[in-house]
Amino acid sequence: MNPEFVATWTPRALATLRIVTAYLFLQHGTAKLLHIPHLAMFDGLQLLSLYGVAGMFEIAGGALVLIGWFTRPAAFVLSGEMAVAYFIDHAPHGKFLSPLLNDGESAVLFCFIFLFLSVAGAGTWSLDKTRS
């Protein structure tokens, strides 16, 4: 592959991965706390419950990662949140080493994408890029 192509498009691809991931992640928080989109399982959710606090992390951290502001620390915290979510909410349902069978695939993917972003940074289209 052409090195110029790779040098030009890698930061853009990284930014696209960050934006799409954060947008999808943000929806988990808004569903929990703002009921947008509405999921009946979150009706009556207490703000200071485990899911309520997770929703706060998902909205605040998801928004930071989406706009690319303090991306590395926010992504690192969100990676940890998703690791905790996997071990608390998915792994106990059996099949610890099979996220496909314990419905933990999205938690694992979010965990590792956020871990990657915490190392790689925000990419081109971000407030972090304008600050540096």
For 8, 77, 112, 126, 127, the CA distances from 58, given in Å and listed in that order, are 31, 10, 15, 19, 19
| pLDDT band, residue 1 (cuts 50/70/90) | confident
User: What's the rounded mean pLDDT across residues 48-58?
Assistant: 98
Each residue's pLDDT tens digit, 83-119: 999 999 999 877 778 899 899 999 999 999 999 999 9
User: What's the rounded mean pLDDT across residues 74-82?
Assistant: 98
Can you tell me which residue has the tokens 């930071």? Answer: 64
Each residue's pLDDT tens digit, 22-48: 999 999 999 999 999 999 999 999 999
- CB neighbours (10 Å) of residue 13? 13
> Whole-number mean pLDDT of the chain?
95
Q: What pTM, to 2 d.p., does this model score?
A: 0.94
Whole-angstrom Cα distance, residue 71 to residue 53? 20
